[in-house]
Amino acid sequence: MNPSKPSLVEQDILHQLHPYTDARLHQEIGPLIIERGEGVYVFDDQGKRYLEAMSGLWSVALGFSNERLIKAAEQQLRKLPFYHLFSHKAHAPSIELADKLIELAPVPMSKVFFTNSGSEANDTVVKMIWYRNNAIGKPAKKKFISRLNAYHGITTVSASLTGLPANQRGFDVPLPGFLHVGCPHHYRYAKPGETEEQFADRLAAELESVILREGPETIAAFYGEPLMGAGGVIVPPRTYWDKIQAVCRKYDILVVADEVICGFGRTGRMFGSETFGIEPDVMVVSKQLSSSYQPIAAILINEEVFQGIADQSHAFGTLGHGFTGSGHPVATAVALENIRIIEEERLVEHAAEMGELLQAGLARFADHPLVGEVRGRGLISAVELVADRTTKAPMGSVGTLGRYLAGRAQEHGMITRAMGDSIAFCPPLVSTKAEIQLVLDTFGRALADTERWLSMAATTAEA
């Protein structure tokens, strides 16, 4: 070993700027270096094992060492390692994957457009809807409505759809024409005594008031995750999506379902749209599409949306949009194999079964003095921590409890994620009963640690 060569930790601090990271704090503490993965576990460079209770980033459906996905990538690399889809070119994996996605779609869809990430896909959807509305003689119909606390990505346009302050502060987004209505979180935003249905009524009325204020002729689409992910795993209140869709249909506004987190079994159905009764005009999928073994996302559009795009591309002689890696042969081959495995191993049904265990197990913490709410659907959940269950107040600034508990969970060998004071769980679809129980047991230990920490802090303050 060359004593003068910096360690990996030192090299990382010197040369890598990390996403979703405090860059100054990173210079002090450095990275946790993950070296390998096996099943639902990952291992750091010191050999310590961690249960990956977040599936990486909501995405590794099949775990970290699926040989069939590895083989699919290797075979495609040897056969056709790259080709593009520009100018009437195609290859078998992209064609077959598009066909499969149309087959699986919960409502009739017409065409599939591939990108490399969910952010790129949502950016592309906005451009395509603008393009289509120009083609059909509605050039003023360009505004998009999303929700506070929504997450739709971090490119400039998709960050404008996103409704999280951390993704917008300092970046000069959202851009003009991107509007945000209320977050559908009953626990946090319902009025005293307001039922879920009454809350949904109020949110639908708010949406309609925004549409009328702006002018229905200016609103292109309503954008939403079936269940909000990065905003805190927010399960919509009963009747919410029915009422939101009714408003959109009344005013000729497209409905876009961002299925990047919910798609391919996460909520116990193949798509979150099925779980919550959404009939979208456009869908976006990514993450579990390939179990994140390859970067890929896909946009599904219905026939009505396609016709306007097709007419405009014919008038101009081309659809002037695309990416070098759109429909990459290796990524599409891996995604196809990933979907085959999900279907053959009945992992959507398995996720529903394991999800019942996860939801029931977390519900047992609902009466804990630090727990404000337990929520989720299928294999995606969150536990929101509070310092005062009556007022729902945090301890000091929002995120203090969440950061501490997530740190203790990591010490105990489980990686989760604190979104403010909400602790998220999104284990791989292949998780066993024993592994779900380990998630619950480890969370329990971390929660007990957090309670002791607060007790010690209170004792010290009194002294």
The 10s digit of each residue's pLDDT in 334-358 is 999 999 999 999 999 999 999 999 9
CB atoms within 10 A of CB 147: 28
Same domain, 251 and 386: no
Total structural domains within the chain = 2
Whole-angstrom Cα distance, residue 2 to residue 448?
44
Please indicate, yes or no, if residue 5 is contained in any of the structural domains: no
Same domain, 46 and 132: no
Q: What pLDDT score was predicted for residue 463?
A: 58
Please indicate, yes or no, if residue 19 is contained in any of the structural domains: no
Please indicate, yes or no, if residue 18 is contained in any of the structural domains: no
Q: Select from 329, 344, 359 the last residue of a domain.
A: 344
**β-pairing, 282-285 with 254-258?**
parallel
Q: Is the pLDDT of residue 1 over 60?
A: no
- Residue 60: CATH number of its domain: 3.90.1150.10
Mean pLDDT of 386-402: 95
Please indicate, yes or no, if residue 396 is contained in any of the structural domains: yes
Q: Is the pLDDT of residue 459 over 90?
A: no
Please indicate, yes or no, if residue 284 is contained in any of the structural domains: yes
Please indicate, yes or no, if residue 239 is contained in any of the structural domains: yes
- The residue to which tokens 């009939």 are assigned: 279
pLDDT, tens digit (0-9, with 9 covering 90-100), for 133-168: 999 999 999 999 999 999 999 999 999 999 999 999
Confidence of residue 462 (pLDDT cuts 50, 70, 90): low
Please indicate, yes or no, if residue 27 is contained in any of the structural domains: no
Q: Which long-range contacts (CB under 8 A, 24 or more apart) does 101-105 make?
A: 101/285, 101/298, 101/300, 102/300, 104/270, 104/271, 104/339, 105/271, 105/283, 105/300
Range of the domain at 124: 68-344
Which amino acid makes up residue 453? W
Q: What pLDDT score was predicted for residue 167?
A: 94
Same domain, 286 and 363: no
**CA-angle at 294, arms to 78 and 436, nearest 5°:** 125
Cβ–Cβ < 8 Å for 351, 380: no
Sequence-distant (6+) residues with CB within 8 A of 191 are: 199, 202
Same domain, 420 and 326: no
Same domain, 128 and 195: yes
Same domain, 46 and 88: no
Q: Select from 319, 344, 369 the last residue of a domain.
A: 344
- Residue 85: CATH number of its domain: 3.40.640.10
Whole-angstrom Cα distance, residue 144 to residue 126?
8
Sequence-distant (6+) residues with CB within 8 A of 145 are: 179, 180, 181, 207, 210, 211, 219, 221, 222, 223, 253
Q: What pLDDT score was predicted for residue 461?
A: 66
Which one-letter DSSP state was computed for residue 287? G
Can you state the angle between helices 303-316 and 118-135, rounded to 10 degrees?
70
Same domain, 321 and 376: no
Q: Select from 312, 344, 376 the last residue of a domain.
A: 344
Whole-angstrom Cα distance, residue 8 to residue 31?
9
In the structure encoding, which two tokens stand for residue 133, read together?
């509305």
pLDDT, tens digit (0-9, with 9 covering 90-100), for 3-47: 678 999 999 999 999 999 999 999 999 999 999 999 999 999 999
What's the whole-model pTM score?
A: 0.96
Mean pLDDT of 414-436: 98
Same domain, 242 and 272: yes
Same domain, 131 and 175: yes
Confidence of residue 364 (pLDDT cuts 50, 70, 90): very high
Q: What pLDDT score was predicted for residue 80?
A: 98
Q: What pLDDT score was predicted for residue 314?
A: 97
Same domain, 258 and 363: no
- The residue to which tokens 């929520």 are assigned: 375
Whole-angstrom Cα distance, residue 410 to residue 339?
31
pLDDT, tens digit (0-9, with 9 covering 90-100), for 437-446: 999 999 999 9
Please indicate, yes or no, if residue 20 is contained in any of the structural domains: no
Whole-angstrom Cα distance, residue 382 to residue 419?
9
- The residue to which tokens 């999506």 are assigned: 241
Same domain, 241 and 382: no
Same domain, 135 and 195: yes
